[in-house]
Amino acid sequence: MIFSFTLKHKDADTRGRLGKVTTPHGEIRTPAFMPVGTQATVKALSPEEVRETGADIVLANTYHLYLRPGHELIRELGGLHRFMHWEGPILTDSGGFQVFSHSALRKIDDEGVTFQSHIDGSRHHITPELAIEIQEALGADIIMAFDECTPYPATKDYARQSMELTLRWAKRCREKKSRSDQALFGIIQGGMYPDLRKECAEKLVKIGFAGYAIGGLSVGETKPMLYEMLEATEPHMPEDAPRYLMGVGKPEDLVEGVCRGIDLFDCVMPTRNARNGFLFTRQGRLVIKNAAHTREEVPIDSECGCYTCRHYSRAYLRHLYMAGEILAMRLNTIHNIAFYQDLMGDLRKAVGEDRLGRFRKDFYGTYQKQEVQRK
């Protein structure tokens, strides 16, 4: 079998799962965090540096690669793996969220989405069939069905219409898919309505997909609502398929998601925060520009073994950031992605040892959701 998911162990006290996804380009240890390489690059890093952080898989985006440089060019040049020099698994998002985020530039109907490019204003029309054609040209290991990302807030009537449109598009994506070496995931929508989430999940399962994603979260709702939607949706997702929570990625969200049975995560947070001087530590988020770090001859996180923490002090990193040096973004990004990969490794170990509940408690005992209080 080219693509498979193996459920290795379930935590004794939570919904946490330990597993393995097998793809044509290698294995993914789950639960896993996927660094975001929107435009065929994880910003500021080489593929070798991304791999050194412990990442098994990266994410690229259909919308952006369709607009530039174009999926046909990438196909001609040997596919996305060869194009970006990444030998491991790749997941491509279908572009539904990007179209959603440029709402002023798009129009949705049953056939698909008409939108203006955010690059040059040119008009484009993407259908579910074209979304699959693009992703098959790119050649990612995991591809996503085209969906409408339901906004927040939304009335129940709107959320239902959006969900039903997503289901129709999902079926068309399933029918269009032709490559046997790619796994197609369906996306569960339904807004903030548990009954709609349940209905969408059950109908997607009837269509049949290799994996199932939860979309339409982290779009402005509160944390309790996010977790409520996870708890309402997860029981209706097949146990023998990977479960992917799209675009959700604060460290505490990863912990809570794993406790609720999620296998895959992605988010721009570690890379975007790194470029803006916000660094993750086991005590919370550190702001490297703060004057308190001017003379600190210690690493970002004394427990971190990443390249940045092995070689550079907070004082030097602050100097680079304040001077506007490109190296600041590179070193900060290496650390933040490594932090996320270390957290996932700790979560996998905790699940395997039936102590995920205790890990969660210990995590909140040291990790502060706000900035580390150093001024």
Tell me how far apart the alpha carbons of residues 138 and 66 are, in angstroms, rounded to a whole number. Answer: 9
Q: Does the active-site annotation cover 354?
A: no
Token representation of residue 84: 């970006």
Three-class SS state of 325: coil
Tell me how far apart the alpha carbons of residues 40 and 235 are, in angstroms, rounded to a whole number. Answer: 34
Catalytic residue among 11, 56, 93, 253: 93
Whether 30 and 9 have beta carbons less than 8 Å apart is answered as no
Tell me how far apart the alpha carbons of residues 201 and 209 are, in angstroms, rounded to a whole number. Answer: 11
Three-class SS state of 204: helix
Catalytic residue among 141, 147, 263, 266: 266
Residue for token pair 């706000």 = 370
Residue for token pair 């721009």 = 268
Among 171, 139, 149, CA closest to 100: 149
Q: Does the active-site annotation cover 93?
A: yes
Using alpha carbons only, give the angle 208, 211, 214 rounded to the nearest 5 degrees.
105
**Catalytic center residues:** 93, 266
